[in-house]
Structure 1
Amino acid sequence: MRRRTFLELSAGVGAAAAVTWSTPARAASRRPDVIVEPGTAVQAVVDAAPAGATTPYVIGFRPGIYSGQVIVPADRTFLEFRGLGRAPGDVVIADDRANGTLKPDGTPWGTSGSASVTLNGADFRAGNLTFANLFDEAAHPEIANRQAVAVLTRADRLAFDRVRFLANQDTLYVNSTAAGVIARTYFRDCYVEGDVDFIFGRATAVFDHCRIHSLDRGSSPNGYVTAPSTDLANPHGLLFERCRLTSDAPAGTVFLGRPWHPSNDPNAIGQTIIRDSWIGAHIGATAWSDFGTWPWRDARLAEYRNYGPGAIVSADRPQLTPAEAATTRIPDFLGDWSPHCA
């Protein structure tokens, strides 16, 4: 994909420019503890935040682009990134490395290492801003491994409110610290854009009133929205409720997802549930795909009461029963945690 320009980042990319948020911006509950300007090294600000916090420490970002990789350590708890612009596109936190980009020592960064922002601290929050990975695939034909993560989550109780996530392959990596460890993330009124497996991982991740936009790669298939790797012991994987799945890609060229088994882990029985959502025509009659030798029918993939031109009910589109649907709502996935933006 071509490199995004500043105007595209601030105003939206392609169909993203037409995003309208389903609820107004919620009032901030706390004034920023520190306010930063474009050009500030965000990592230095994160490192200066108090360790082991039990109440929010808010970093306010004035409008502009903040470049450079950011890693929030595990001991930086209750950290909050808050965009101070009028819209999420006014503040952009971005980097531009891919899986195959080489480190100074000559070895590749890998998928996890490619992340523009990595979140290891529990109870992180973000609102009214954009996270992006600006890796330019077209400019680097020599790089075969093009996974380029915008955000990697590993901690529990992470909440995102009116946040955009922009990249191509592997945009949003929702993970945990280890297989079998449950980590919950909540996305409200967010926008996620990508093409191949662009929402993936083993975390419990809830998307509430979000827009999920598949890019047109100009290929067939054009991509896969999700690649869950939910551990068998976890009954809650990826949930999309009251979302809009959109695309500029031709009809029937994008899959809802495929089951990812990291390192061929047989216990990674991925779960994606899409319910009460609008689905565009880019999703075809067969909505799920095998992942190598791993068949999609052995994973936990289902829909419920979706609508729109891509919402087809058939033998290749498993549906929840009413009884199953009654126990797969947002509170069921989040358990004893009620996010700040819920």
Structure 2
Amino acid sequence: MQPLDKRRTTVVGVAALSLAAIALTTPAHAATTITVAADGSGNYTTIQAALAAASSDTVINIKPGTYHGQVSVPSSKPGITLQGTTGNATDVVITGNTPQSTAGAAGSATVLNMARNTTVKGMTIANTYAAHDSQALALYAGGDRQVYRNVRLLGYQDTFLSWGGTGSSQVRQYVYQSYIEGAVDFIYGNGALVIDSTTIRSLDRGSTNNGYITAAATNSRNPYGILITRSTLASSAAARTVALGRCWHAGGAADAIGQVLIRDSTLGAHIRQTGAWQDMGGFSWKTCRFSEYNNSGAGASTGTSDRPQMSSATAANFTPQKYLAGSDGWNPVQ
């Protein structure tokens, strides 16, 4: 075997060192950043204009202000981040007043987010339409692997929809340290949705029936639907007048066997003891998969027969990580 050419080895070594030096001194690719300001001090005055100009993985910083009209994030723009610049969710308000009766679910949503891998944080999303005759969405979450942190979702009926379309196709969303408000079915859909460390406030309708918090339509082939964990269920409504949820067989689909678990949370006195889970559309709540685990507070179960409790052994497989893992191991849990 011929000995190695030392001169060639030296040249190769210098080249390798030079490449290493370049790699160390070249900055990593930075995400494109766009600033929105209603007062004209940013790149755009509307969020939708910024989204139209944005490419995938763009960070859109939103300065304080009230922004009217629908914000739509299309599925063709994954990885977008929408964030308020102050970190105070009340400083940035996206608001609309469109009911589902005139525009459909997607058209009524103040924010329609259909993109994968998006992050929304530090803002309020509101639909101020509060008539009792129509749903009116604040947020329609239709993309997979979406994260919402420090957001306020305000509505009356159908505030927050997690929806992956018909059949067993499922999207995943994680909501953390946020606030969700409504009266009727205001957290609903067929997605794998985890609501963690969040305040969920039921509005007072001044009735002996002050509404329903959830309306799950989880496909029977999907083990996980809506999980509310480490959260607080609050209201100024009268004691025992708010239901935890009802069984939504979307479109009358027999295989929409909703799954909801409320665990490790504090439940206010407004939660019903009898009738905590309700029928809907001719389907008994017992056709769905409703349960609780390790809750506390005045509204926690006192042992009534219609407050199913999950066992500790089963609860070990119903964690936020399990709900969101899917086939790719996604884990945004804080």
TM exceeding 0.5 = yes
Q: Which amino acid aligns with 2:279?
A: D
1:172 and 2:160 matched: yes
**Residue of structure 2 in register with 1:34 after alignment:** 34
Structure 1 stretches of 5 or more lacking a match? 1-29, 101-107, 138-143
**Residue of structure 1 in register with 2:64 after alignment:** 63
8 Å contact kept, 1:155–1:177: no
The Cα offsets for residues 88-145 of structure 1, whole Å up to 9 and x where unpaired, read as: 1110111110122xxxxxxx212332111111110110111111112243xxxxxx74
Aligned partner of residue 221 in structure 1, secondary structure: coil
The CA distance in 2 between the partners of 1:152 and 1:145, in whole Å, is 19
> CA offset at residue 298 of structure 1?
1.4
Aligned partner of residue 187 in structure 1, secondary structure: strand
The Cα offsets for residues 312-339 of structure 1, whole Å up to 9 and x where unpaired, read as: 1321100001111010011111111022
The CA distance in 2 between the partners of 1:147 and 1:263, in whole Å, is 15
8 Å contact kept, 1:41–1:68: no
Give runs of aligned pairs for residues 1-342 of structure 1, distance below 5 A: 33-38=33-38, 40-50=45-55, 53=56, 56-100=57-101, 108-137=102-131, 145-286=133-274, 287-312=276-301, 313-335=303-325, 336-339=329-332, 342=334
Structure 2 stretches of 5 or more lacking a match? 1-29, 40-44
Larger radius of gyration: 2
8 Å contact kept, 1:260–1:291: yes
The CA distance in 2 between the partners of 1:32 and 1:76, in whole Å, is 13
How many residues align structurally? 295
8 Å contact kept, 2:116–2:146: yes
Q: Which amino acid aligns with 1:303?
A: E
Higher relative contact order (CA 8 A, sep 6+): 1
The CA distance in 1 between the partners of 2:99 and 2:208, in whole Å, is 23
8 Å contact kept, 1:222–1:253: yes
8 Å contact kept, 2:248–2:281: no
**Residue of structure 2 in register with 1:20 after alignment:** none
The CA distance in 2 between the partners of 1:253 and 1:222, in whole Å, is 5
Q: Which amino acid aligns with 1:213?
A: R
Query: For the aligned residues, what is the CA RMSD?
Result: 1.5
The CA distance in 1 between the partners of 2:68 and 2:179, in whole Å, is 20
TM (norm. structure 1) is 0.83
> CA offset at residue 32 of structure 1?
7.0
> CA offset at residue 164 of structure 1?
0.6
8 Å contact kept, 2:99–2:135: yes
8 Å contact kept, 1:98–1:145: no
**Residue of structure 1 in register with 2:8 after alignment:** none
